[in-house]
Amino acid sequence: MFSKILIANRGEIACRIIRTARKMGITTVAVYSEVDRNAMHVAMADEAFEIGPAPARSSYLDGAKIIEAAQKSGAQAIHPGYGFLSENADFAAACTEAGLVFIGPPAAAIIAMGGKSEAKALMATAGVPVVPGYHGDEQGPETLQAEADGIGYPVLIKASAGGGGKGMRVVKKRKEFAAELAGAKREALAAFGDDRMLIEKYLSQPRHVEVQIFADAHGNCVSLFERDCSIQRRHQKVIEEAPAPGLSDSLRTRMYTAAIAAARAIDYRGAGTIEFLLDSSGDFYFMEMNTRLQVEHPVTEFITGLDLVEWQIRVADGQALPDEWTELRIKGHAIEARIYAEDPSHEFLPSTGTVSHLIFPDQSPHLRIDSGIQAGDTISVHYDPMIAKLIVWDTDRPSAVKRMRLALERLAVAGVTSNAAFLAKIIGLEAFENAELDTGFITRNEGALFSLEEPTQSELATAALGLLLVRTKRVGSDETDPYSPWNVPTAFRMNAPARQTLHFKVDGQELMLAVTHGADTLLLDIGGKKVMISGRLTEDGLLRATIGDRQESAYFFSGDHTHDLFIRGRHFRVCECELADDETSSQPSGGLEAPMPGLVRSVFGKKGAKVKAGEALVVMEAMKMEHTIRAPSNGRVTAFNCAEGDMVEAGKVLLDFEPEAT
């Protein structure tokens, strides 16, 4: 067995691998970029080597530097995790040439499945069903356009060398094809260094079901059941579960047989995933093979009791899979939710900045947290914005759904915007409880998922309580006399009840509440309704409130004038109105701003040009994804304040825009 391995990755997956290696008694070596010097995976590893500046191409994608670090450290093997170099055949071959074991499949297997076009041709030969489409070598825009026309719209443009939703576009109309193809090519080139594309018939409401396979060097290949990964945004998974609900035993058997045939066709080794699209009639089609560990592997670990990272290492060391694996049975049900720093209400734009507070639910045999982030860490524009994965297990799906709902309600992320409340909405939908799953789930339920829900009377009362308790703490920390009745925020009056008007905003809704202070309680007048409330706020932000005869737990994290309330899976921004008004008045008018820090990839049009509503004006790249800034209405661009290749901060006015007179 290896005595030392290097992990060629960062964040959550690097920490995950280190934990298993530590359990196996293996010394670990981390690599890190300049901005990751203080990252969790660096602190957890036994040794660490800096490999370059922040951009991934200069650090985590520089195979030569990683191999050099492995040789300096004396590591015998390299685990690539997922993403970065995990499916890079040249890197796998370079490891072997350097005398290092690549903890993954042979380079030939990666090559066979690395190009989606070639992979689909190979799978068709092996008898695995594939989606109709064009997977050829001719990549001219005219050829791809003609192939799309022949297939019939809608079509899916997909990066041949990619994954994770990058370089992928759905095209519904012929006239949209050229622009979407250009954008997909730019995105694929930036993420994978390869802009080859394939075109497929777009199946409008399929399920995304994948089979976990494992193979060794002794001729053994088994399936470790399936996962449903249909809940996606921007073609990227956000909720996964195992097993896939509602599949018949015969369908499962056919999918497992096809997956094993796919793996054997390329003489596979280690952990891999065969991804299928499953239509409503029960037909399934090969989509791609991921020749690596999947982000969602923990749900498979929960229902099998196996540690897949451990077995990746054992197989790479030459060990055979246990005979009893062929007798494994599904145990219970597991669900994973990916917590990202992103804003669902603004097209899931990534959110960058410092994670000021991070509260996870307690881990247990039923709940697992995989994370590489802790409070005080920065979500950078350079890498994927994942904060953590919440994984739950129970004896059946309804029980697992309940556990996930509770886990999300007990999660709090402040400092950056997260998708946690959005995921809680998904889990709470009747359609999710009934397992009405397909890749269009979010779009189909967008009315419920993106609707603005007014805070309840209880939530408003809790927000007011948190704000008043924060003000009490502020005064108590002042250098002025804290015992003076004139220096306490309780509206003290001689020979009269202490009353005041509290003026604040909750998610932009302006409120003025009448507050009467009692000895230990507050009487709030909310829209003419009286609410009696009391409570306390701990140093770590835990807010214990008693509202009438009911107790409520929440988190209230305070800033200078803006605060965050997390309560029952919902997140509210609580603002003291003085700052809220100042912020509103300071916003520039007539300009379109960068929604996040990033690189300006393309600038369209000229100064003074007239544009139509929705027309693309600037394309930015951040966190390996492209984001298009479009004209908000018909109008005219009066000035461009950026150029292709510029790195810009969030909020920079990219162009000045003058709306058309009405």
Q: Which of 292, 314, 368, 403 is catalytic?
A: 292
C-alpha closest to that of 612 among 544, 550, 660: 660
292 flagged as catalytic:
yes
272: β partners: 213
Q: Give the integer Cα–Cα distance in Å for 127 and 141.
A: 31
- Which of 242, 273, 272, 246 has its CA nearest to residue 392? 242
Give the count of beta carbons closer than 10 Å to the beta carbon of residue 394.
Answer: 19
Secondary structure of residue 491 in the 3-state scheme? coil
CA distances from 647 to 33, 62, 520, 603, 615 (A): 19, 22, 53, 13, 22
114: its two tokens = 């690395």
- Residue 17: left if φ>0, alpha if ψ -120 to 50, beta else—which one? alpha
Q: Would you list the DSSP string of 365-418?
A: TTEEEEES--TT-EE-TTS--EEEEEEEEESSHHHHHHHHHHHHHT-EEESS--
Two structure tokens written together for 593: 């701003």
Task: For tokens 């419920």, name the residue.
Answer: 448
CA-based nearest residue to 418, from 451, 443, 385:
385
Structure-derived torsion over alpha carbons of residues 183, 189, 190, 193, reported in degrees to the nearest 10: 170
Q: How far apart are CA 237 and CA 286, in angstroms?
A: 17
Q: What is the Cβ-side half-sphere exposure of residue 154, based on CA atoms within 13 angstroms?
A: 10
The phi and psi torsions of 429 (rounded to 5 degrees) equal: -70, 140
**Count of other CB atoms within 10 angstroms of residue 173:** 9
As annotated, the active-site residues are 292
